[in-house]
Amino acid sequence: MGPVSDVSSRRKRTYELENEQEKGCGENDQLKLPCFREYKLDELRASTGGFSVENIVSEHGEKAPNVVYKGKLADGDRLIAIKRFNKSAWPDTRQFLDEAKAVGQLRSQRLANLLGCCCEGDERLLVAEFMSHETLSKHLFHWESQPLKWTMRLRVALYLAQALEYCSSNGRSLYHDLNAYRILFDQDCNPRLSCFGLMKNSRDGKSYSTNLAFTPPEYMKTGRVMAESVIYSFGTILLDLLSGKHIPPSHALDLIREKNFQMLTDSCLEGDFSNDDGAELVKIASRCLQYEPRERPNAKSVVTSLITLQKQTEVCPFHDNGCKYLAIILLNSLSFQMWTSELQDALNDRKRGDTAFRAKDYNAAIESYTSFIDNGTMNSPTVYARRCLCYLMNNKAQEALGDAMQAQVASPNWSVTLYLQAASLFSLGMENDAQEMLKDGSMLEVKA
């Protein structure tokens, strides 16, 4: 595909996403949600099995002792999330009801929408859509099998920005403690912003409990947050998505100023995205993290910038080998149970290989990576690259060269594979060939 075709494709995708944004934000008839209403305490108690410990999906610490439960109402199959506040959190009954009703008017495919509330005696509860695939924090920081794919990270960034723009355009520009725990995945694995953060004393702008290293500068000076503070918090999430870690903004900005932003990128994403896309995401994040609030972009501007990075219409939910499309193909050749068993075995082999690699036990790493490759369920350029390095450390240059070439086949645009081939060729005494391979790697890196 030539340059003209690339531009045409990019424009088409931008148009599709802009249309998707327009139809995806705010149509209650499309969402098929019930109107906001007040629930009875007995009704919510019954839906959670008497607020049973088994139905707790998240808890908070001593500073904010409230709990979120999973529940199901007796009159339907819809699962709900119920946030039960500490008794002292909302002493003013009228303020709680007014805030809940205002947030409950919002309806968007980018939100985990508020369905209702309960205010009886000292009890203060919120009822929202239940998101079945947990939080961004889990999939980004605490993954067990494979890291969150780059395409999904870009989708999280865009959908979150669209959610913030929708809220802002509907008079709810303040969002408190925006972080990776506030982003949830629905049954279709689409990211959504929790509505609960729109509720926390959001009129006075005084409530903020995040770690001070991640707090907007203006809050440190005045004790208050504003719409621009939300953009600052959004910038910290962009850093999370880029790095796979929770990095303090001050440290990240120092790396960006020193042109060392490659150190921010998640090593698990090697070969998964271009340098240009990574640099653009860093640029957007640095704009959001400006010290002066007036120098930060608004949500609409951020959405426009992020749309240009969305290059895939279909995004696998979390992992390449876990999406439903691949499952459909596999079901034609073997039972789903057999495939999932083989997949888990392969993932365990890779995990053991990675553990041995980090411990510099290269023989054990080779054994586990070989088992992963021989399983044949997945094709990973990173595994070939790491086994190549293990072979080089064991003075097995010929085997290393073979793995470097296999990694290139799996990921043709990954310059690291050419550098690995050059290292292998040097070890084999083929210096002229190695020099040529280094040049090819440098040229590919410039094009990436």
pLDDT 10s digits, 301-316: 999 999 988 876 556 5
pLDDT at 208: 56
Q: Where do we find the tokens 């949500």?
A: 299
Domains and CATH numbers, the chain: 34-129 (3.30.200.20), 136-307 (1.10.510.10), 323-447 (1.25.40.10)
Partners of 135 in the beta sheet? Answer: 184
**At CA 243, angle to CA 234 and CA 301, rounded to 5?**
30
pLDDT at 415: 85
pLDDT at 60: 56
**Which of 6, 42, 122, 177 is flagged as catalytic?**
177
pLDDT at 5: 42
Looking at per-residue pLDDT, the higher value among 109 and 146 belongs to: 109
Q: Which range, of 126-140, 160-174, 330-344, 410-424, averages the lowest pLDDT? A: 330-344
pLDDT at 91: 85
201 pLDDT above the threshold of 50:
yes
Question: Which DSSP state fits 262?
Answer: G
83 pLDDT above the threshold of 50:
yes
Angle between helices 381-393 and 336-358 (to 10 degrees): 40
pLDDT tens string 236-280? 999 999 988 888 888 888 888 777 667 788 888 877 888 888 889
pLDDT tens string 21-38? 444 444 444 567 889 999
10 pLDDT above the threshold of 60:
no
Residue 401 C-alpha from the chain's centroid: 35
**At CA 436, angle to CA 433 and CA 441, rounded to 5?**
125
pLDDT at 334: 41
- Across the range 131-139, mean pLDDT stands at 91
Across all residues in the chain, what is the average pLDDT?
A: 81
- Across the range 374-383, mean pLDDT stands at 78
319 pLDDT above the threshold of 70:
no
Q: Is the separation of the CB atoms in 317 and 152 below 8 Å?
A: yes
Residue 334 C-alpha from the chain's centroid: 32
321 pLDDT above the threshold of 60:
no
First to last CA, the chain: 15
Looking at per-residue pLDDT, the higher value among 81 and 374 belongs to: 81
pLDDT at 171: 92
The pLDDT confidence band at residue 392, using thresholds 50, 70 and 90, is very high
Looking at per-residue pLDDT, the higher value among 387 and 143 belongs to: 387
pLDDT at 62: 44
pLDDT at 231: 96
- Across the range 123-132, mean pLDDT stands at 94
119 pLDDT above the threshold of 90:
yes
- Across the range 365-379, mean pLDDT stands at 83
Partners of 67 in the beta sheet? Answer: 59, 84
pLDDT at 313: 59
Per cent of the chain over pLDDT 90 is: 42
Sheet containing strand 111-112, strands side by side: 111-112, 191-194, 183-185
355 pLDDT above the threshold of 60:
yes
Active site (annotated) includes residue 177: yes
Q: Which range, of 319-323, 357-361, 364-368, 428-432, averages the lowest pLDDT? A: 319-323
Residue 145 C-alpha from the chain's centroid: 15
pLDDT tens string 105-116? 999 999 999 999
Most confident option among 27-36, 45-54, 141-150: 45-54
Outline where DSSP puts E strands in 85-178: 111-112, 114-120, 123-129
